[in-house]
Structure 1
């Protein structure tokens, strides 16, 4: 690529090419794009413009979202065809190209469905508009908690950009601060939204340095922030902010028929290259976890090491230095766990400055071992023993828990536990995310409220 891709900020007055720019490189260190970073004053003026903007009528929002989804997934956006966009994202992020293609199609579908899927969160007794005939005798009206919604996006998977589309569908004006790791997806999506009917003052892209990032949150009514444990600790007590932290998704196997579920175990660990919050990072086995861990390790070890743009790629790729840093973190935290796969390292150098992160499987000797809470950006899973006497405690603080069990009483406890956000039963992979099932509750539960209206 001879000329760098220009990723301008997308402000309320249109694209903005700033003097401060960040060079985005692919895995080998070759520059591929320049991302404009906006200063604090630009953020403040843009957020003020969003606050003053008029919300589009609901039918116009639904139409524009559907149109933008088709354009994003299959069209030419800002001069870049969908296939070229997918190749760039794969080479920059190290995500397998098949994952990027699937995510592209998924974002297109979710944009088209965004207005309809917000309906799942609306209380059954509420209506959308105070003019509804039901309000004559008194009714709940579903209303926004604010007007401006901010997103600090992650770069681990393009699919993180499906969720905030629901805020647009509900009438919020949206500001996205993209990840420096992968800004191509939000830039393409917001450009497609603008080309499909949303005004420049309805949805903006605000790349910033770290010093200005909090201004985007401060100047919004509500916000959603992705990140690790430090993000949860920073924003966990702010009622205006919805943190999206580690998933620590788990599988619980009770009984003895684990062989018939082996495919689900392997897929739950390795889907999306193991980079998503819904990938399984710990498996709890009633009885001896060793044979299950060995069978999963055998399957994972057969996955080939390939460049991410190869159609057969399954595993994520990182620059060699970054891959070794992740490997070091893993090996520094083994702390007595028994290696089944990856104990000697997980870095497979491709010889071009990039390296595949190969799967890791470890066994721990107790269900409350701290390693079961470790979540890394590649297929890495910890196997632990579990018994009925251990109860729910080791399974807590989980985004998705797949429970393969016939114990209805246990399921009652899992569903009732507030720290387990989703419970999947039987041979169901943890990464399954149909749009009608909440991810971490429905986003609409955070964005909206009911307001009583009585008119005569």
Structure 2
């Protein structure tokens, strides 16, 4: 990444290969939310990608302690360093201006990624099976033990651009000894560039961590020719890759909150609203459905009032919470919302969610809709802004309305219900009580530990 862009020197995002930066002949434009040109991003061709993957496979694996020490150094470099000509404030400004993500969200994401990098020693210990050792040199292998070992060597990351926080997942693979190749989002490639540059500056050789921006056809080469891949996208991405065991799709979270009759929801409204609007409502952990035992209308009305108070501000305003996008994109999302809402009763955002800004682009305003039943199809609709569907639930509805959920916050005191939620395979995480669906902490799995997919145990016994 070149120095801070000037009109006469547009920003260039180059590929970061094993031999250093690579600027391809084919480049795609980078623009601000207003539509103003910012610069260009290289589009690495398939031949360059294949040569890079081959060189990465041939590279030696860095010893565990060296990896973890380098990751701890990288946390400081990422958070405080000047990388590609951008200091931390310049980086935050760039991301906000070009992607429409509020500055406060960018800063929260930086804190999250930094915590992830600093926590990998603990994370690996927590993820490893208690009966396994992390190194064959451990004395327990003399008597026979399980050794934790990688299933492959190379992980590809097809990243998203909704928030920088998506880059808090894949560093676990680097800590495990995988070589990682990141294909950044063309909407927001700056965090991926900054993180890869920080890891290299902290001691990771270029052959262990690369940045390969590509078009969609070449992205398929990355996915098919790596041992494993993380792929972000909508339901279409999940449908495309869910049957491939080496691909971990990161699609809609459809995170939910359940409030049972034994809990008074009236002092939970702020928590629920924050679960909906955190990170601009763009994260897979943001609440998209609230189910209430009893009449859901009073909660829905209170939630609409609370979310309606969030101001519409430019993304570079330090008080901004809501995401800004090009006006045409927001108008299209608004049209889609009106189509899928159907007979649902709009309490907020029913007229429009489009709020144009004088400087260009439009804010995605929150929306709250009330549905009649726990089986309403809208409860499964997730959109990239604070959009929530509120409906009724009763014990006779069972777990069916709660399935296919990344995070379920259960505001309940019923132990048997909590047991059932934990036993339901399609509910990934269960938070009980006053915890937003957006709560995260390094060491607590998000979609399981990444190591669940990338690692295995091997039996070993040795004489010397």
Give the TM-score band, short-chain normalised. Answer: over 0.9
1:362 correspondence with 2:369: yes
* 1:157-236 equivalences in 2 (<5 Å): 157-236=163-242
CA positional deviation for 1:79: 1.4
- 1:351 and 1:332 map into 2 onto residues whose CA distance is 28
SS at the partner of 1:284? strand
Aligned to 1:452: 459
Q: Tell me which residue corresponds to 2:327.
A: 320
CA distance in 2, matches of 1:106, 1:404: 26
Post-superposition Cα deviations, 1:198-251, rounded to whole Å, max 9, x if no partner, equal 111010011111111110011111111111111111111111111111000000
Q: CA deviation at 1:137?
A: 0.8
What aligned pairs does 1:338-357 form with structure 2 within 5 A after superposition? 338-357=345-364
Q: Does residue 303 in structure 1 map to residue 278 in structure 2?
A: no
Q: Could you say which residue in structure 2 is the equivalent of 1:260?
A: 267
Match of 2:153 among 130, 136, 147: 147
Q: Does 1:433 align with 2:436?
A: no
1:57 is displaced (CA, Å) by 1.0
Deviations 1:184-206 (A, max 9, x none): 00001101111111111010011
1:237 — aligned with what? 243
Are 1:115 and 1:166, in contact at CA under 8 Å, matched by a contact in 2?
no
- Which position in structure 2 is the counterpart of 1:132? 138
In the alignment, what sits opposite 1:392?
399
* Contact kept? 1:149, 1:172, Cα under 8 Å: yes
Cα distance between partner residues in 2 of 1:162 and 1:180: 18
Any idea what SS the aligned residue of 1:123 has? coil
CA–CA separation in structure 1 for the residues paired with 2:441 and 2:194: 23
Task: Give the C-alpha shift of residue 377 in structure 1.
Answer: 0.8
1:254-297 Cα deviation digits (max 9, x unpaired): 11511011111111001101010000000000011100000010
| Equivalent position SS for 1:352 | coil
Checking the alignment, whether the CA contact within 8 Å between 2:99 and 2:187 is kept in structure 1 is: yes
Q: 1:84 aligns with which of 87, 90, 97?
A: 90
Gaps of 5+ in 1: none
Task: Please give the secondary structure, in 2, of the residue aligned with 1:77.
Answer: coil
Tell me the residue number matched to 2:385: 378
Name 1:418's counterpart in structure 2. 425
In the alignment, what sits opposite 2:3?
Answer: none
Question: RMSD across aligned C-alpha pairs, in angstroms?
Answer: 0.9
Q: TM-score, normalised by structure 2?
A: 0.97
8 Å Cα contact 2:409-2:437 kept in structure 1: yes
Deviation at 1:351, TM superposition (A): 2.4
On the 8 A contact 1:9/1:17 being kept in 2, the answer is yes
1:289 to 279, 296, 302: 296
Distance 1:410 1:105 in 2: 35
- Determine the C-alpha separation between the residues in 1 that align with 2:408 and 2:257: 6
How far is the alpha carbon of 1:139 from its aligned partner? 0.1
Say which of 54, 60, 68 aligns to 1:54: 60
Partner SS state of residue 421, structure 1: strand
* Cα distance in 1, alignment partners of residues 325 and 194 from structure 2: 23
Q: What SS does the corresponding residue of 1:243 show, helix, strand or coil?
A: strand
Runs of 4+ in 1 over 2 A off after TM superposition: none
| Residue ranges of structure 2 left out of the alignment (5+ in a row) | 1-5
